[in-house]
């Protein structure tokens, strides 16, 4: 772990004033390899933490450019593409975690928007329940498929707002805020879609992940990556949501992997996905997950936000 006092000097074009709180003081958190796309490639860069609101960011010079999300560049960068079948294979499981997390909120009869919906995996899992589904994603490669499945597709929140401002009951932004140029403006734009008291469900990787604590030399180089400009914990994401005019209804920590994933990281110092260990069964997984989620050390964060009345 880098000492925050060690390197005060930085290039302001890499760390401009924080768009969430306006502070221009950034403390060094990580210096060295940052994952570049799929596991195995890296670049050398730095991560700093905002002295005001606590958000962390990657040096701008190492960030994947915004235009990448409109074209094929982003999905190629992370080893994916706009093949809809492959999109389902990697995103259907995430949809299940999201729907479990929002319960007991029911989507029946509601107007729902998914901002950064990709190929629409989450939308497919709720199909039939909402009265109206709005799909927002800049990736034109998925647009035809989304439209043919009956969703109203828009490339940006701004375009969706021309028709749906103030009309959405529940908006989702699942694993999107880590990529955007300005997280506060992003949430603010989603708020413009919502009815009074409408809900916004935001998820992002949790930088308080247990492996950041247990493997401070090996895990940050995997956790931080060039396609993620921002890294949040529960407090900094809540601060961002409040700055964007939301009330934070609840913070939920969700761990997506079993105990074997953590043990194999400790043993091998590299990712193993869903590989199993013979001695680790479902009850060990459940216990591990429950402990991580109850202590805020899970791999993902979900915030349930509410727009003003």
Q: Decide whether 161 or 231 has the Cβ nearer to Zn ion.
A: 231
Q: Decide whether 23 or 106 has the Cβ nearer to Zn ion.
A: 23
User: Is residue 17 near Zn ion by the rule CB under 5 A?
Assistant: no
Work out the number of other CB atoms within 10 angstroms of the CB of residue 306.
Answer: 18
Interatomic CA distance for residues 134 and 168, integer angstroms: 9
User: Is residue 180 near Zn ion by the rule CB under 5 A?
Assistant: no
Interatomic CA distance for residues 43 and 224, integer angstroms: 11
Among 2, 4, 10, 21, which residue sits at the site for Zn ion (rule: CB under 5 A)?
Answer: 21
Sign of CA dihedral 32, 73, 40, 86: positive
CB of 252 to Zn ion, least distance (A): 23
Mask of contacts with Zn ion, 239-258, x by CB under 5 A? --------------------
Per-position DSSP letters for the chain, written without gaps between them: ---TTT-----TTTSPSPTTT----EEEEEEEEEE-SSTT-EEEEEEEEETTT--EEE-GGGSPPGGGGTSSHHHHHTT--S-HHHHHHHHHHHHHHHHHHHTT---TT-EEEEET-TTTHHHHHHTTSSSEEEEE-S-GGGHHHHHHTT-EEESSHHHHHHHHTT-EEEEEEES-TTTSS-HHHHHHHHHHHEEEEEEEEEEEEBTT-HHHHH-TTTSHHHHSBTT--EEB-HHHHHHHHHHTT-EEEEEEEE--S-HHHHHHHHHHSS--TT---TT--HHHHHHHHHHHHHTT-SSEEEEEEE---
User: Is residue 221 near Zn ion by the rule CB under 5 A?
Assistant: no
CB of 53 to Zn ion, least distance (A): 3
User: Is residue 20 near Zn ion by the rule CB under 5 A?
Assistant: yes
CB of 23 to Zn ion, least distance (A): 5
For tokens 């002295």, what's the residue?
Answer: 51
Q: Decide whether 23 or 275 has the Cβ nearer to Zn ion.
A: 23
Q: Decide whether 18 or 170 has the Cβ nearer to Zn ion.
A: 18
CB of 157 to Zn ion, least distance (A): 22
Stretch that binds Zn ion, among 22-30, 69-77, 127-135, 220-228 (CB under 5 A): 22-30
CB of 55 to Zn ion, least distance (A): 5
CB of 6 to Zn ion, least distance (A): 21
**Residues 39-68 close enough to bind Zn ion by CB under 5 A:** 50, 52-53
CB of 52 to Zn ion, least distance (A): 4
Q: Decide whether 53 or 201 has the Cβ nearer to Zn ion.
A: 53
Tell me the number of residues near Zn ion by CB under 5 A.
Answer: 7
User: Is residue 231 near Zn ion by the rule CB under 5 A?
Assistant: no
Stretch that binds Zn ion, among 2-10, 16-24, 177-185, 206-214 (CB under 5 A): 16-24
Q: Decide whether 53 or 136 has the Cβ nearer to Zn ion.
A: 53
Q: Which two tokens stand for residue 277?
A: 């260990």
CB of 4 to Zn ion, least distance (A): 15
Contact set with Zn ion (CB under 5 A): 18, 20-21, 23, 50, 52-53
């Amino acid at each position: 772990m880098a000492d925050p006092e060690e390197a005060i000097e930085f290039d302001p074009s890499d760390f401009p004033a924080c768009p969430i709180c306006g502070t221009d003081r950034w403390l060094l958190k990580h210096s060295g390899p940052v994952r570049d796309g799929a596991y195995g490639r890296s670049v050398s860069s730095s991560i700093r933490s905002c002295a005001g609101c606590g958000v962390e960011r990657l040096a701008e010079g190492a960030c994947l450019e915004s235009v990448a999300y409109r074209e094929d560049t982003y999905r190629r960068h992370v080893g994916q593409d706009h093949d809809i079948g492959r999109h389902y294979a990697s995103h259907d499981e995430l949809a299940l975690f999201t729907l479990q997390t929002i319960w007991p909120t029911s989507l029946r009869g509601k107007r729902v928007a998914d901002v950064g919906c990709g190929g629409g995996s989450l939308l497919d899992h709720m199909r039939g329940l909402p009265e109206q589904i709005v799909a927002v994603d800049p990736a034109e490669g998925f647009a035809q498929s989304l439209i043919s499945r009956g969703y109203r597709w828009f490339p940006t929140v701004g375009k969706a707002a021309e028709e749906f401002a103030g009309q959405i009951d529940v908006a989702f932004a699942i694993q999107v805020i880590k990529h955007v140029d300005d997280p506060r403006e992003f949430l603010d734009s989603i708020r413009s879609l919502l009815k009074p008291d409408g809900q916004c469900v935001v998820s992002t990787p949790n930088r308080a992940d247990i492996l950041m604590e247990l493997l401070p030399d090996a895990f940050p180089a995997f956790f931080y990556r060039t396609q993620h400009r921002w890294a949040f914990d529960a407090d900094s994401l809540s601060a961002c949501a409040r700055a964007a005019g939301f009330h934070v209804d609840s913070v939920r920590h969700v761990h997506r992997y079993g105990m074997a994933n953590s043990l194999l990281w400790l043993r091998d110092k590299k990712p193993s996905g869903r590989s199993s260990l013979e001695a680790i069964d479902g009850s060990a997984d459940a216990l591990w997950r429950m402990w991580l989620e109850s202590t805020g050390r899970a791999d993902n964060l979900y915030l349930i936000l509410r727009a003003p009345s």
